[in-house]
Amino acid sequence: MRTPKYQSFARASAAVVLLAISGCATMDREECLAVDWRTVGFEDGVAGYSADRIGEHRKACAKHGVVPDLTAYQEGRAEGLREFCTPSNGFRLGSQGGSYRGICPSDLDPAFSDAFHDGRQLYTLESRLSNVSYRLDSARGELHDAESDIVTRSARAISSDATTEERAQAVVDVKHLGERVGELKSEIRQLEEERVHCERDLQDYRATLQIP
């Protein structure tokens, strides 16, 4: 089912990102007065903007007395969407955690949607691995701190400089820290196993996508 069709992913991504950035700027007075609405629509379509994007242009130009040519804009956007709605862009959108609102023409939507879901699955697996790795690093950090605290409080428990109450409290603290250390070691073992599974699942899925 999945082929090397996403091999142009990086190149397509760069092109779309540049177009998206250029389309995000607020239109100033000169742009509103001289704008070619069909071109604006085409650029918005290529960048994958939804139909309500025209509303932002309308607001930007309203204070300059300019009303968008809706027909020209829609025609241009329809052309632009045919450039945007490729499997590579669908995969890019999904793999970056984006959302797809069904903006592609009916003849292009199936391939775009399939690619989007493939990318979305990659994003999900990568996010899962990232989350487990973060939790594992946090648990290891807490374990290191707890073990250091045990050493410090154990020394306090036998220190001649400490009061009876302070030594007693240090003993209690060491007991509680020891329990927490046990919990953390168990949690770390589970997270290490979970990370191995996540890494394997991600590696296997990437292999099916044949991304270079």
> How many alpha carbons lie under 13 Å from residue 49 in its C-beta half-sphere?
25
Check pLDDT > 60 for residue 5.
no
Between 22 and 129, where is the model more confident?
129
Contact 6, 41 (CB under 8 A): no
Check pLDDT > 90 for residue 157.
yes
With vertex at residue 151, the alpha carbon angle to CA 149 and CA 156, rounded to the nearest 5 degrees, is 90
Confidence of residue 192 (pLDDT cuts 50, 70, 90): very high
Single-letter amino acid code for the residue at 14:
A
Residue 209 has a pLDDT of 86
Between 81 and 4, where is the model more confident?
81
Average of per-residue pLDDT values in the chain: 88
* Total Cβ atoms within 10 A of residue 14: 11
For the stretch 10-65, pLDDT in tens is 444 444 443 343 444 458 888 999 989 999 999 999 999 999 999 999 999 998 89
Confidence of residue 210 (pLDDT cuts 50, 70, 90): low
Question: Percent of the chain at pLDDT above 90?
Answer: 81
Residue 13 has a pLDDT of 47
Rounded CA separation 133/167 (Å): 38
CB under 8 Å to 81, separation ≥6 — which residues?
A: 45, 46, 48, 103, 104, 105, 108
Check pLDDT > 50 for residue 99.
yes
For the stretch 105-120, pLDDT in tens is 999 999 999 999 999 9
pTM, rounded to two decimals: 0.77
Rounded CA separation 69/127 (Å): 42
